[in-house]
A and B are shown apart, each in its own frame.
Chain A
Amino acid sequence: MESKLKTKRTGQVIFSPYSSGEGIKKALSLGRENILFELKSSGLKGRGGAGFPTSTKWMLSAAAVADKKFIVCNADEGEPGTFKDRVLLQEYPELIFDGIVIAGFTIGAQTGIVYLRGEYEYLLEGLEDHLIKMRETNFLGKKILGKEGFDFDISIRLGSGAYVCGEETALIESLEGHRGEPRNRPPYPVDTGYMGYPTVVNNVETLSAVPHIIVKGADWYKKFGTEKSSGTKLFSVSGDCEKPGVYELPWGISIKELLELVEAKNTKAVQVGGASGTCIPKSQFNRKFGYEDLPTGGSIIIFNESRSMLKVLKNFMEFFVEESCGQCTPCRIGNTKLLEGVEKIETGEFTYAYINVLKDLGRTMQVASKCGLGQSSPNSFISILENFKDEIFHTKGQGGKNE
């Protein structure tokens, strides 16, 4: 088991000093409109990967008229190579829960639900303990900090090992006790979410940034990052490097700078955004992270010269075949066909015509699949076969006799 590393972590926003409850106190004194204003001018976007403006989500559900509203914290991080939420849940629960309470106050919700992935069940006890402490100090419960009419509590629900439940409508289906199959959108959860009520679904990291923005202000937050991508991002770095782990870095940093920071050597490729992201070859290492160029949920997997990119691709495609929920045909059949294609390349029994058909199939999946899983699963297939075709298709002979 890992030891507590909290004292060692430093960062500009999320890992900057914060004392439990600070954000809630400030939020209650600011009032709803000012919170939404601060959030909007901070430019905070969803940190799960999709990058939808958080303030828009909050405004839409704040404007919705209903007798119940919900805040759902998406702690179902399942993207291969992502573990930033694990660190937040384990070491910074006060940020997440304070973020949920602030969100609840802003949109007028009574209940917050944390959907914790089944793989993180070992974190449940620590989180429940923190909730008990919050109830004792009236950061949760009736009339929070004496605020008339603001009753709010948080419960934690476990997932059961389904990657697709990280998709917000699938997550809501799962919370309602169904198979985690994504819904058609619209209607969006902001007006028709959990049990049909307006629901804000936010990523763990997004909610963790909120208390800092509320306490220190939008102008402070915007000092970090770039013009279109404000603030910082947590990067989960794994693979071939000396210092894997979670790093908080401002948007706008380049792949090359990140590789130096984590002491990666002989790097051939970097997978940005996990299995559903894209594979970046050496020639593009000067590209920068941010919504302008390379948006990402923060999963960074590093491959050095010794790795076979075809094997990497096969691992990704096996993942998607396993995790596709099977509801829509492009994703269910498409991923199986792409995996078959990879296996054919592996044994050498392929034609280029067929590979091109599969790339077309991939592009069809990107537009025809029902949810983000099928829309993004062909990304690595297309980018790896395109960027590493020399390695995969043009292997040179070793010399010697013809047999």
Chain B
Amino acid sequence: MLVFEKNALSQEIESLVVKYGTSRSALLQILQEIQRKHKYISDFAQQEVARLMNIHPVEVNSVISFYSFLHSKPQGRNIVKLCKTISCDMAGKETVENAVKRELGISFNETTKDNRISLEYTSCLGQCDSGPAMIINEKVYTRLDPETAVKLLNELK
């Protein structure tokens, strides 16, 4: 990481801490904002959050490792999560899953070489009446078939 990148990130985290406060209950909100923007929370970002909130970096890391939507390793620019729970599974999750894998040439829990898309599984998305369902970044897509799923992924920048 370059020095000016580090400085920019520090400034960003400082403004988040100003926005949410230094109380421990603000930690998850701050981490969620960093995750939303950068798609992961780097070691340096974790240390900065810990320093500014006056807690141990291990505490920050343990919170990140607990929640499945927070990442400590770099991800692609778009995070795609496919629901693997029973109702979506019965509605045809597997055909969507296979089509997406073939099209991108990667497996789940992997990122494309051009860093465009990371594929993940997720537990029940609460769209069981209209599966198979998938979340792309924060947006939910339902009633997918392999063709639409692939089309959605191809539209991602």
Give residues in A with beta carbon < 8 Å to B. Answer: 1-2, 77-83, 85-86, 117-122, 157-163, 174-181, 195, 236-240, 244-246, 271, 275, 301, 303, 307, 312, 315-316, 318-319, 322-323, 325
Answer whether residue B7 sits at the interface, using C-beta atoms and an 8 A cutoff. no
Answer whether residue B105 sits at the interface, using C-beta atoms and an 8 A cutoff. no
- Inter-chain CA distance A316–B85, complex, in Å, is 8
A83 B127 Cβ-Cβ under 8 A: yes
A-B contacts, 7 of them at CB < 8 A, read A78-B123, A238-B128, A275-B86, A301-B86, A307-B90, A322-B123, A323-B123
Interface positions of B from 92 to 127, Cβ below 8 Å from A: 122-127
- Inter-chain CA distance A181–B66, complex, in Å, is 9
Min distance, Cβ B61 to any Cβ of chain A, angstroms = 11
A85 B85 Cβ-Cβ under 8 A: no
A residues within 8 A CB of B70?
A: 160
Q: How many residues of B contact A (CB 8 A)?
A: 39
Contact pick for A238, options B24, B26, B87, B122, CB 8 Å: B87
Answer whether residue B63 sits at the interface, using C-beta atoms and an 8 A cutoff. yes
- Please provide the 10 A-B residue pairs with the shortest distance between their CB atoms, ordered closest to farther: A177-B27, A160-B67, A238-B128, A161-B69, A244-B129, A179-B66, A161-B68, A238-B87, A160-B69, A177-B24
A160 B85 Cβ-Cβ under 8 A: no
- Inter-chain CA distance A181–B63, complex, in Å, is 10
Most buried by B among A80, A316, A323: A80
B66 A162 Cβ-Cβ under 8 A: yes
B 76-95 to A, binary, CB cutoff 8 A, 1 in contact else 0: 00000000111101100000
- Inter-chain CA distance A68–B19, complex, in Å, is 23
B122 A161 Cβ-Cβ under 8 A: yes
Taking A160-B70, A161-B123 as known contacts, 19 extra A-B pairs with beta carbons closer than 8 A to each other, sorted by chain A number, are A78-B123, A78-B124, A79-B124, A80-B85, A82-B128, A83-B127, A83-B129, A119-B125, A119-B140, A160-B31, A161-B122, A174-B28, A177-B26, A238-B87, A238-B129, A239-B87, A239-B90, A275-B85, A275-B86
Answer whether residue B139 sits at the interface, using C-beta atoms and an 8 A cutoff. yes
Contact pick for B129, options A174, A237, A319, CB 8 Å: A237
B135 A119 Cβ-Cβ under 8 A: yes
Min distance, Cβ B71 to any Cβ of chain A, angstroms = 10
Contact pick for A2, options B26, B31, B67, B142, CB 8 Å: B142
